[in-house]
A and B are shown apart, each in its own frame.
Chain A
Amino acid sequence: MSNIITVKDMCLWYGDHKALNNVNIDIPEKSITAFIGPSGCGKSTFLKTLNRMNDLIPGVKITGDIRYEAKDIFGRDVDVNNLRKEIGMVFQKPNPFPMSIYDNVAYGPRTHGITNKVQLDEIVEQALRDAAIWDEVKDRLKKNALGMSGGQQQRLCIARALAVQPKILLMDEPTSALDPISTSRIEELVMELKEKYTIVIVTHNMQQAVRVSDYTAFFLLGELVEFGKTDDIFSQPKDKRTEDYITGRFG
């Protein structure tokens, strides 16, 4: 399996505060990688760096080398909009736009210039199918998305991210605001999505990392402490700090 993202000696500062220190990681393609670690350890910051969402925060300085499909994501010829189309993101709280379900999903493709109705219909249906929500919404595509349940809204947001045909989906605690049933639907969905996409997921739910991910990265105080196969990390971690964190001895 090849690595879709490679990161070498990456550091990040918020002003004077060094939030990430010398991170090195290779993210394998078409697999699920979980980032775990206590609050403030830098895992969300690192996640957002991967599609340059941190560019929007004033005072952020990044050094090191981050490559997506072997290309420097900070390279001069990189179109950030295009990068974010390829590397989509789903946030902790579902954030559908205040418009119809259909328009939510069609929003991305339209911004990227697709206007043909038949083509849009196809994209919307496929994205909603991939996000395992098509059957629930196919009869009310014109209804406002804000009328959906939290779990449905989150799957709609996943559909919206998928509609622009990304290769990577970054998910920042996508189930922390959902009930157990919606959570397990999203988890099932994530596991299905890895057939076509690479998924990177930040989670505070240790069992979720065990259940869904193939690889786990443990962050602590801005450092990537340990990265490896999830089964190995959770059965015999190599670093004592990982062991202490996952067994609840600190954090």
Chain B
Amino acid sequence: MRNRFDEQLFELNREIIEMGSMCEDAIASASKALSTGDMELAAKVCENGSAIDRMERDIEDRCMKLLLHQQPVARDLRLISAALKMITDMERIGDQAEDIAEIVTFLNGHTMEGMEMIEEMAHETIKMVTASVDAFVKKDIELAKKVIARDDVVDDYFSRVKCGIITLIAENHADGEFALDLLMIAKYLERIGDHATNIAGWVIYSMTGTHKEV
């Protein structure tokens, strides 16, 4: 009876999954470029940023059309409104991955020696992004809840990285710029964790109609 609508919802689902995986790629590549100093990879992340932006527009258009044509209610309405919110968070993740990659291109051969904690933090953040997208794909409320709980771990990393950077500045006054770059990267990672948390929150909302209290 509502084949066409179901097809459109399926297509929306597919696009969100695709955008999610583009974000995972972006942050994973940015993090790899950070560890290895791979300038080419960093440049590629910056290029792909616009593809994520375009994807956001496309999904937004699709959601607007669905709202207009189908006047959805209940589960359908929740999915479409959650989609609209989720893609904003995904787009931000893409932007922040791009920002990290851009900083990498300015690092001028500085290595992460002594600052491995940032790599660990990046690793933890990527896991959150992947899990939040997985929770959406599998409609898995428990996994979404785990992502939300995981945000504290990333926040904790941020505090520790900040302390590490303060020590770095104390030990080596000359490299203030590098230290600030590292702080920016850590802050972006922390924000990406927040966006993954939001995505997980919207997964729960689209399935239950309620928000998990944060």
Contacts of B208 in A (CB 8 A): 236
Chain B residues within an 8 Å CB radius of A247 = 2, 72-76
Contact A246 B1 (CB under 8 A): no
- Nearest to B71 among chain A residues (CB) is A207
Do B2 and A248 have beta carbons less than 8 Å apart?
yes
A234 in contact with B73 (CB, 8 Å): yes
Chain A: residues with Cβ within 8 Å of the partner, total of 14
Of the listed residues B73, B78, B209, the one surrounded by the most CB atoms of chain A closer than 10 A to its CB is B73
- Which residues of chain B are near A235, meaning CB under 8 Å? 73-74, 77-78, 209
B75 touches A243 (CB 8 A): yes
Partner of A206, one of B73, B78, B209: B73
Q: Give which listed residue, A234, A243, A249, contacts B1 with CB less than 8 A.
A: A249
Give the interface size bracket for B toward A: 10 to 19
Q: Determine the main DSSP class of A at the interface with B.
A: helix
User: In the complex, A236 Cα to B77 Cα: how many Å?
Assistant: 10
User: Is the pair A248, B75 in contact by a Cβ cutoff of 8 Å?
Assistant: no
Residue numbers in B under 8 Å from A242 (CB-CB): 74
Q: Is the CB of B2 within 8 A of A249?
A: yes
Interface residues of A in 4-53 (CB under 8 A from B): none
Decide yes or no whether B10 CB sits under 8 A from chain A: no
Q: When the two chains form their complex, are residues A234 and B74 in contact, meaning their CB atoms are under 8 A apart?
A: yes
CA A236 to CA B74, docked complex, whole Å: 5
| Nearest CB on B from A78, distance (A) | 39
Residue from A242, A246, A247 having most chain B Cβ neighbours under 10 A: A247
B39-72 Cβ-contact flags toward A at 8 Å (1 or 0) = 0000000000000000000000000000000011
Could you give 8 example pairs across A and B, Cβ below 8 Å? A206-B71, A234-B74, A235-B77, A235-B78, A236-B74, A242-B74, A247-B72, A247-B76
Taking beta carbons and an 8 Å cutoff, which residues of B are in contact with A?
Answer: 1-2, 5, 71-78, 208-210
